[in-house]
Amino acid sequence: MKITIATEPFESVDSRRPQSERLVQNTGVLQHETLTQLEESLDHIRQAPADSGTVELIARRPAEDEREILPEARLDLQDGLEGDTWRSRGSSRTPDGGASLDAQLTLMNARAAAAIAGGRERWALAGDQMYVDLDISRANLPPGSRVQIGSAVIEFSETPHTGCAKFSGRFGVDALKFVNSPVGRDLRLRGANCRVVVGGSVRQGDTIRKLPN
C-alpha cells in the first residue's frame, strides 16, 4: 500500500482518493518541552541490535515535500531507491551541483525516529528512505562498512547526515539540537548517508545484517 504524505498542515484526508492512495497531511511541529525527554530515549536507542536487525519502514520521495510508504522497493546502483527524487535533487557538496553518490540512500534508526517524530505515521517526515532497527552508530558501522538489506548491499559513507531547517520546522529546535549534539552525531541519530553497491529488492520486515569487513 502506498500512502503519500504531504508535509503541510495537519490531518486532512482527501476522501476522493482511493484508501490505498490517501493524501495524509502532517501536523505542524512536534514540540518537545526540553531536551530531557529526548535524552531519556538514548538508552533505548543504544539497545538496537548491533549485527542483525529489521527494516521497519520504507519511504520514497516522489516529489518535493511528498512521501510514499512502500511495502517493497528496488535499490539500484545508478538511481538509488527507484522512483525517489535523489538524483534530481542534486547536492551542494558536489562541484557541479549534481547528486552525490555518497548520499544516494539515507537510513535512520527506527528507535530514534520514534523518539523524535512520535507515531510511525510521522517517521517519513524526517526525509530518510529506510527506517531500521539496527545500531547505525559510527562505532558499530564506521564509514566503509557494508550491510545487506533485503537482497541489496549498501555502504556507509563518510559524509555526515545532518538536520536542516525543514527537520527543525517539523520536529522542533530541541530535536535538531539532539541529533547534532556530540552524542547524536556519534550515534547518527539524524541518520546515515549510504550508497548502493549491490542492487536488489527490500521489503518491510526484511533483515538488515552487518557484513564482515
> What is the radius of gyration, based on Cα positions, of the chain?
16
* Residue 11 near residue 125 (C-beta atoms within 8 A): no
* pLDDT at site 35: 75
Q: What's the pLDDT score for residue 11?
A: 31
The secondary structure of residue 103, as a DSSP letter, is G
- Grid cell locating 36: 530531557
pLDDT in tens, 32-61: 446 788 889 999 999 999 999 999 999 999
> How is the chain split into domains, by residue range?
31-210
CA dist list (Å): 212 to 86, 109, 167, 182, 206: 28, 20, 33, 27, 19
Tell which wins on pLDDT, 105 or 94.
105
Q: Domain 31-210 - what CATH class?
A: mainly beta
Residue 25 clears pLDDT 60, i.e. is over it: no
| Crossing angle of the two packed helices 110-117 and 173-180, in degrees rounded to 10 | 150
- Determine which helix (DSSP H) or strand (DSSP E) holds 173, and give its type and residue range: helix 173-180
For residue 127, give the amino acid letter: G
Among 55-69, 132-146, 188-202, the minimum mean pLDDT is found in 55-69
Average pLDDT, the chain: 83
Quick one: which of 194, 188, 36, 51 has its CA closest to 113?
Answer: 188
Residues 82, 73: Cα–Cα separation, whole Å: 7
Strand partners, 57: 131
Q: Determine the average pLDDT of the residues in 142-161.
A: 96
Q: What is the pLDDT of residue 91?
A: 55
On whether the CB atoms of residues 201 and 150 are closer than 8 A, the answer is: yes
pTM of the predicted model, to two decimals? 0.83
- Residue 54, judged by CB atoms within 10 A of its CB (0-12, 13-18, 19+), counts as middle
pLDDT value at 16 more than 60: no
The answer on pLDDT for 166 being more than 60 is: yes
Cα–Cα nearest to 148, from 105, 102, 108, 207: 207
Confidence of residue 93 (pLDDT cuts 50, 70, 90): low
Q: Across the strands, what pairs with 68?
A: 4, 60
